Each structure stands twice: as C-alpha cells, then as structure tokens.
Structure 1
Amino acid sequence: MAKHQKMGATVTSTKPVNQPHSFSLPTRNSSIELLRLVCMLMIVGYHYAYTSAGHWIAEQPFSLAKLIYQCLMGGGWVGNFVFFTISIWFLLDRKQTLQSNLRRVWILERELLFWSIALFLITIVLRKHDIFTGSLSTQMLALRCFLPLSLNIWWYPTSYALFLVFLPFLNIGMRRLSQRQHCQLACICLLLWGLLGLIPKLSYNLTESTVFVFIYWYILISYYRWHMKPFSTRRCWSLIGIGVGIDFIYLLGSNLLYSATGKAASAQLFIFDKWKLPTMLIGFGMFLLAERTGFRSRAVNVLAASAFGVYLIHFYPPILASWTYYLSVERMFTTAHPILFGLLTIFAVFVACLLMDLIRQGFFKLTFDRHRGRLFDRLWKKLPENSFLR
C-alpha cells in the first residue's frame, strides 16, 4: 500500500483541463482523510484474512462467518487503489519536477527508515523472549532495515517511490497524447487487465505488485481527471454497487462449486487478489463520493497522517507473522462468536499500530519535521549545474 497526499507531486498542464472535480479549500478535506483511515482498516483486515489464512478459510464449510471473513479479503485492494487515487488525484494538474519528487522520496524514506529500524529492534526483543520464533534471517533483516526502499521490505512504498521518480516524465508523455489516443490507451489497459483479468490464468505479464500497477492505474485516473465530465453521485454509487455485485456473485458461485465438488477451493480467492476490476470500481466510487463531501476536522486529519504508519507496522514481515500467529484466524473462527472476535482482532491491531505511529508523528514534529527536507535542499544545491539530475 500505500505514502499519500503529503507525498504529493505536481504536473504542468499543456492543454485545457476540465474544471476541478472537487471543491478545493486551503486545508485538507477530512472526508478524504477519514476515507484514508477506513481503507487502512480494510487493508489490515485483508492481511489478516487473506494473507495469513485465505486458503484455510476457503476450505471451511459454507457459513455466514466464512462469507464475512472472505468479504474482509475484498477490502485490501480497494484500500490500495483508494490510497493511490488520493495521491495521484492532487498531483495531476500541478507543476512538478524531478527535484520536487526526489525530495518527496527523501521525506518518505525518513519514515521508512524509522520504522524499519525500530521494528527490527522490536523483532530482536521478541525473538529473545521467544515471542517471535520465525525463520527470518536476522542478518538479512538487519541489512534490509537500513535500505527499506531498495530492498523492498514493503512493496507499496518502494513502488510508489519509483512512480514518483517516473511521474514528471510520464506526465509529459501523457499530456502530449490527444484525448482520443489517451482514451485508446485507457481502453486497452482496461481490456487486458480489467475485463480479461477477470478470467483465471489471464494476466498479460502484470503478475506482481510493482510500479507497473501504479502506471496502469495512473493511465485510467488521469484520463478521467483530464478528459471526462465528473460522475454524478448516482453513478458513483453505481460503480460501488457493480463492484460489490460482481464480487458477491463470484464469491457465492465459487463457494457453491467447492461445496458441490470439494475441488477448486483456491478459486474463491481469485476475485480478491491483486488489482481486480471490481475492487477498482468500488475504490473509485468511494473516493469520488468522499472527494465531493467536504468537512474539516483537525482530529481526523491528525489520525489520518498516521494511516501509512499503520501499514508499515502491521505489515512488517516479523510483526505480521507474530500477530497473525497469536491472533490467528483459525482461533477466532472456531470461537462461539467468530465474526465478532475476528472484527475485534482487526480493529485492535489497527488501533495499536495507529497509536504507535501517533507517537512517531509527535516525535518527528519535535525533531525531523522542524526543518522538513532542508538537508535534501542543501545537498541539491551542491550538485553541479551540468548534472544530469538538474
């Protein structure tokens, strides 16, 4: 998943652009920030239900509890898509440069370094007390904690950092396309990875969670932002309804198939994996509704600033292995109230990680954020005028 609005970039417009799709005020729209928090909660639920026990759940007899747990899986890539949409939406019509985007990557790296080192030390303590007994190499983890972007501890920030580096050049190329050419490109992407992507075994080389996923999404979002009339509220709800409907029909059908044959259990997971079209429809509809529903809340904005930290903490490999072991789906699913205990587990992990990052946020305000990006600016000024980066 996903750093987001505060990592934003900008772009130069070389042709007429539609009127903004949202009202714009000097401060952040708290409805979008609240959506950020909700989506991170959905991502935690996805990692709990899908990553740790998706196949185990698929092999259970059909029940309401099983259906709810599998529905939790649908939130992960909805959340990823919304996080990326929030980021790119506010970048598309502003001037940006390689310098400004490298500066954003620099600022992103500070938070990654903080949590990769802090969580590595926590892992050492957990292992010393036999709380974490995983097979991860301590030496390799130590190396990775000092190079979190380069060694891809978390796929989302690494892919997003690469996207920020590419974005100024992508914008130049995309702005030079006519509306018709941009439409053709978007339609090809939707056909290959959207519609045909709903057929198992058809992936057309988009098989991993990498920067190319973000480029695919960028092509679609930029076409809507630059060339299409804003969707009505009714159409936004229709997007959500269609996405939920496709997910539910597929989930119900695959469950009935498994119940009747005892085979193809993994087919139940297919619709929730990676960047499926239904999750994109749901995510885009949710974003557009939040974007046009404005309110201001300092508390919500402060909490949302730690949403990315929740991702970094709960998805750090040893931490993920630990909490999904001690709070395992298998244990919660077999209790007298599996739905209640499962939801409480997800919420408890989310709140615990949020509180931890709020502490980090306060620490940064007293230290690193007092002169945010100043060291980068000084280093940039020292580059020779004829440097290829300038």
Structure 2
Amino acid sequence: MIEKKERNSNIELYRIIVMLLIVMHHYVVNSGLLDEMFKTPLAPESIFLYLFGMWGKTGIDCFVLITGYFMCKSSISLYKFVKLLLQIELYNVLFYCVFLYTGYITLSFSNIIQVINPIPSVNTGFISCFLLFYLFIPFLNILLNNLSKSQHLLLVILCLGIYTMLGTVPWISVTLNYITWFCILYVVASYIRLYGIWRSEDKMFWGGVSLVLIIISILSVLMMLFWGISSGVRLDWSLVMFFVSDSNKLLAFLVSISTFMFIKNIHIRQSKWINTIASCTFGVLLIHANSDAMRQWLWKDTCDNVGFFHSSMIYIHALCVPIIVFIACTIIDFCRQRFLERLYLDLVVKYIQTSKLYITCHNRLKKYE
C-alpha cells in the first residue's frame, strides 16, 4: 500500500496558477499568433498578448522549484518513476490513436517509434527532460545531504553565476539543457528548504518583492519591444522576451523564487478541491502540449486564435480559452486517475513486489550453494 501525504493547499494553489500561466503561454506561442503580432507589433492586441503569454518559462521554474522543495526531504522510488512514465505513455498512445483516426497524422513506423519513445530529445523539451531529471533526484539528495551549509551556498552561487548571470548577458552564449537547469533549481530549492534564505518567513516582504519583479519583467518586455522597433532589428519572441525568454534568464528565475517564497508563507485551510485539481496539473501539460497534431487541432483549428486576433473579441477569447482548456484537461486527467490509474498501477505494484520476493529468495538460495 502506497501512503499518500497530505499536500499543502497553498502550494497546490500555486501549482494550479503556474500551470494556467503555461497554458496561456502556449495559447500565444503555439497558435501562429506570433506571426500576426509581429506584423503590427505596437497594436494594443499585440502588446496585450506579449504580456499575456510572457510567463511560460517562469512557470517552468516555479513547477520545478515545488518539486525540489519537497523531494529533497523525500525520496523517489521505482513506483513514483513508473507512475510518471506510464502517465506520459498513456497520453502519447491515446492521442496518437485519436489523431490517427481523425487524419491529423498518418500511420508510419517513425510515428509509432515517436509515440513509444518517451524521450524524443534531451534538450529543452520539458516533459522528456523532467522525466530524466527525476532519475537524478536520489543522487542529488545524497550529494546535498553531505554538503555543509556553506558548501551548499557556494554551489548555488556557482550554478546561478554560470547559468543565470552569464546566461542573461547578451554577448555571452550559454547553452542551456533543461536537465542541467532542473538540477540547478533543485539545488536552490533544497537550500531554501534546508536552511532558508533572508526573511524566509516574511510573506509581506516576499509579496512586495514579487510585485516589484513582475512589474520590472513587464517593463523589460516593453523596453525590448520599443528598442527593437527603434533599432530596426527583426523582431522575434526571444528578443522581445529577452529577460524572461528562457527558464535560466534572470527575471524569470527571480520572479519564480519570489512568488514561491510568497505563496509558501500564505497559510490557507486544507482544501480537497484545490489538492485534487492540482494533482491533475501535470496531466494538463501532457494533454494540451502533447504533440504538433494537438497544437494544430487545439489552437489553430478548434480555437482559431489567429482568426480571433483580427476581431474585437481577442481579449475575451484570450482570457477564456486557456481557462476552458485547463478545465477540460483537468477533467480528462481526473477521469484517468479515477478509473484507469489504479488498474495499471496495481499491476506495477504486484510486479515490483514479485520482483523483490524473487530477488530475496534468489539471494537466500545462493547462500546454500
């Protein structure tokens, strides 16, 4: 029997908000809207969408910080890893079959391999890198638990100095790999959990810092937009979003830390509703960002984001669609948990228990050989 720990509803609410921000980011960047926005970069709807979709990479940092904060005092088991892996594979197979039936993709050997393989690339794809990062957690815990406080702090400074400080300097190229970056975030989150940081428990302080950093992040986007236009350079998303364009960028990192510290110190009553919805957030990501076919069907064909960009309804559309997508994906993943997960996880538990029994018996028999 696998014991379930009671989740903190404040952190779980944060998880929900973070995933909604990631869906909002995908609403903008995965729908063809960028091409339309850069045709009229100073139009009110374009500026609105820059600011609306700018928080995706910051959201990734927040999501991994939550993992690091709790897992540094916990442990990863084969059961947890297999649970994560099977969730990924289930949605890969399910949506491959759906899109094959609807004609969005074709039946081919390469497509089947893509579905079966949970690691399509080891670069900046969140899902595959997060899965591999999970395997590092036991080793990271051994490392961090054997460091002194000062050694741990120096490691944090070294990692952030290379990947965040140098990574935000325009003329210095820092190649980012998400597995490495997730490990760095884990080191940071574990330091916060084990030793705390300055004014760790002061929610008013961290609330104020969060507000200031969010405003600075917004101003940085507007500044880069107007600078790009006045300089005559070709505008693209990475230029306009420079300080939040990837998870290692300075403002993306600082906003994630400050908001995490703020939410961590807000104590709300345990809520079964919040905790249940939050348990579906990874499923929300797996569903709505499943594949290129999903992006085509969801954002381009069904929601028609580009079509609404040229209408007065774009603001209402942008505000409502990510919420609807989040709710729909949550319902799907809740049904998976409620009706399917127990079935296949029970088989996994039985297999693990049988394997352990076999290994124990085998080792005992060897003693008598």
TM range (shorter): 0.7 to 0.9
Q: Which residue of 2 aligns with 1:11?
A: none
How far does residue 159 in structure 1 lie from its aligned partner after superposition?
2.1
Q: Which residue of 2 aligns with 1:12?
A: none
Q: Which residue of 2 aligns with 1:63?
A: 43
8 Å contact kept, 1:48–1:324: yes
How far does residue 45 in structure 1 lie from its aligned partner after superposition?
1.0
Alignment of 1:1-390 (within 5 A): 27-52=6-31, 53-54=33-34, 56-94=36-74, 96=75, 100-127=76-103, 132=104, 138-149=108-119, 155-206=125-176, 208=177, 210-229=178-197, 230-266=200-236, 267-275=239-247, 276-292=249-265, 293-317=267-291, 318-326=293-301, 327-364=303-340, 367-369=343-345, 373-383=349-359
Amino acid at match of 2:70: F
TM-score, normalisation: structure 1:
0.81
8 Å contact kept, 1:102–1:164: no
State the alpha-carbon separation in 1 of the partners of residues 153 and 119 from structure 2: 33
How far does residue 332 in structure 1 lie from its aligned partner after superposition?
2.0
2:77 alignment partner, SS class: helix
TM-score, normalisation: structure 2:
0.85
How far does residue 7 in structure 1 lie from its aligned partner after superposition?
12
Q: Which residue of 2 aligns with 1:21?
A: none
Alignment deviations for residues 339-358 of structure 1 (CA, whole Å, 9 cap, x no partner): 11122222222222222222
1:336 alignment partner, SS class: coil
How far does residue 67 in structure 1 lie from its aligned partner after superposition?
2.2
How far does residue 137 in structure 1 lie from its aligned partner after superposition?
7.0
8 Å contact kept, 1:58–1:268: no
Q: Which residue of 2 aligns with 1:20?
A: none
Amino acid at match of 2:18: C
State the alpha-carbon separation in 1 of the partners of residues 181 and 335 from structure 2: 32
Q: Structure 1 unaligned segments of length 5 or more: list them.
A: 1-5, 9-25
2:71 alignment partner, SS class: coil
**% identity of equivalent residues:** 21
8 Å contact kept, 1:36–1:304: yes
RMSD of aligned alpha carbons = 2.9
State the alpha-carbon separation in 2 of the partners of residues 361 and 199 from structure 1: 44
Amino acid at match of 1:253: M
Q: Which residue of 2 aligns with 1:22?
A: none
1:90 alignment partner, SS class: helix
Amino acid at match of 2:336: R
How far does residue 55 in structure 1 lie from its aligned partner after superposition?
5.0
State the alpha-carbon separation in 2 of the partners of residues 140 and 81 from structure 1: 32
How far does residue 265 in structure 1 lie from its aligned partner after superposition?
0.9
Give the number of the structure whose residues are more often helix, by fraction: 2
8 Å contact kept, 2:246–2:252: no
Amino acid at match of 2:323: F
State the alpha-carbon separation in 1 of the partners of residues 212 and 160 from structure 2: 16
State the alpha-carbon separation in 2 of the partners of residues 219 and 295 from structure 1: 29
How far does residue 372 in structure 1 lie from its aligned partner after superposition?
6.5
8 Å contact kept, 1:74–1:279: no
8 Å contact kept, 2:41–2:47: no
How far does residue 371 in structure 1 lie from its aligned partner after superposition?
6.4
State the alpha-carbon separation in 2 of the partners of residues 374 and 258 from structure 1: 59
Q: Structure 2 unaligned segments of length 5 or more: list them.
A: 365-369
8 Å contact kept, 1:88–1:218: yes
How far does residue 313 in structure 1 lie from its aligned partner after superposition?
0.8
How far does residue 124 in structure 1 lie from its aligned partner after superposition?
0.6
State the alpha-carbon separation in 2 of the partners of residues 255 and 153 from structure 1: 28
Count how many residue pairs are aligned between Structure 1 and Structure 2: 352
8 Å contact kept, 1:236–1:289: yes
8 Å contact kept, 1:81–1:283: yes
How far does residue 151 in structure 1 lie from its aligned partner after superposition?
6.4
